[in-house]
C-alpha cells in the first residue's frame, strides 16, 4: 500500500514545461491561463507561470527608459502537475499552441534548465538593468554630440552595464580611443 501512495505522490509532482504561444501575446495568454485555472478550481495542480525576461534600459534622445525584454519570444514556462484535466485546460486556452516535447507528448524541462531559468530571473531582479545598445564591435559610427562631434570612428568596445562605447577616432593621423555614452553616437 505504501508503494501505491508513493506513485500517487510522484504523479502529483509539479514539473516545469514549455508552452508555445502566440508571439507578442505572452502576457495576455498567461493571464487568461491563470484565470481559467482559478475558474476550474485546479489551483492545486498549478504553480508559477513565467515569461522569462530581462530588464534593459533603452535610451532615446538622451532619455533612459527601463523595459522588459523577453528572452524567449513565443514561449511561456509553466510549473504544473500534468494530467488529463490540466493538459486539456492548458491546450484549450486561446493563443496556446502546444507543449514543447517530442511526438505530441509534453516533455518536462531538465533540472539544470529550470535552475538556469530561475537563476537568470533572480539575477536580473537583483542586478541593475542592462543598457540596450544597438551597435556591435567594429561598426563605423559618427559622433553626434560632445567634444568630438561630427568625427567618424570604429567601435572598439561596448560596456552594456554602463551604457558606454569606446570609439577609435583619428586625430592628427593617430587612432585614439574615446569613451562615450552610447546615445552620443549614431550609425553611419
Domain limits, the chain: 2-131, 140-187
Average pLDDT, the chain: 82
Place of cell 502537475: 81
Query: DSSP assignment, residue 131?
Result: E
Q: How large is the average pLDDT for residues 9-26?
A: 83
**Identical fold between 2-131 and 140-187:** no
Please tell me the predicted confidence (pLDDT) of residue 148: 87
Q: Are 98 and 92 in contact (CB under 8 A)?
A: no
How distant is the alpha carbon of residue 73 from its chain centre?
8
pLDDT at 92 over 50: yes
Please tell me the predicted confidence (pLDDT) of residue 152: 92
Which of 28, 47, 51, 118 is closest to 86 using CA atoms?
47
CA distance 79 to 18: 9
Place of cell 491561463: 33
CA distance 40 to 32: 12
**What spatial distance separates the first Cα and last Cα of the chain, rounded to whole Å?**
74
What would the pLDDT profile of 137-149 be if each residue is shown by its tens digit? 899 999 888 888 8
Please tell me the predicted confidence (pLDDT) of residue 172: 85
Write the CATH number of the domain with boundaries 2-131: 3.30.70.940
Pick the CATH number of 140-187 from 1.10.510.10, 3.20.20.370, 3.30.460.10, 2.30.30.30: 2.30.30.30
C-alpha grid cell, residue 155:
567601435
What would the pLDDT profile of 29-86 be if each residue is shown by its tens digit? 999 999 999 999 999 999 999 988 877 777 766 677 787 888 888 989 999 999 989 9
Residue 111: CB atoms within 10 Å: 10
Amino acid at each position: 500500500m505504501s508503494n501505491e501512495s508513493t506513485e500517487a505522490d510522484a504523479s502529483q509532482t509539479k514539473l516545469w514545461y514549455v508552452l508555445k504561444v502566440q508571439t507578442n501575446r505572452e502576457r495576455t495568454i498567461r493571464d487568461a491561463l491563470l484565470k481559467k485555472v482559478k475558474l476550474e478550481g485546479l489551483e492545486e495542480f498549478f504553480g508559477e507561470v513565467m515569461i522569462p525576461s530581462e530588464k534593459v534600459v533603452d535610451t532615446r534622445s538622451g532619455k533612459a527608459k527601463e523595459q522588459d525584454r523577453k528572452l524567449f519570444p513565443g514561449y511561456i514556462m509553466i510549473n504544473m502537475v500534468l494530467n488529463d484535466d490540466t493538459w486539456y485546460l492548458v491546450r484549450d486556452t486561446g493563443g496556446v499552441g502546444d507543449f514543447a516535447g517530442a511526438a505530441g507528448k509534453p516533455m518536462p524541462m531538465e533540472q539544470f534548465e529550470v535552475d538556469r531559468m530561475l537563476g537568470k530571473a533572480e539575477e536580473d531582479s537583483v542586478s541593475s538593468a542592462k543598457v540596450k545598445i544597438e551597435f556591435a564591435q567594429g561598426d563605423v559610427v559618427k559622433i553626434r554630440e560632445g567634444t568630438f562631434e561630427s568625427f567618424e570612428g570604429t567601435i572598439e568596445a561596448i560596456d552594456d552595464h554602463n551604457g558606454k562605447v569606446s570609439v577609435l577616432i583619428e586625430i592628427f593621423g593617430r587612432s585614439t580611443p574615446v569613451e562615450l555614452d552610447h546615445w552620443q553616437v549614431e550609425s553611419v
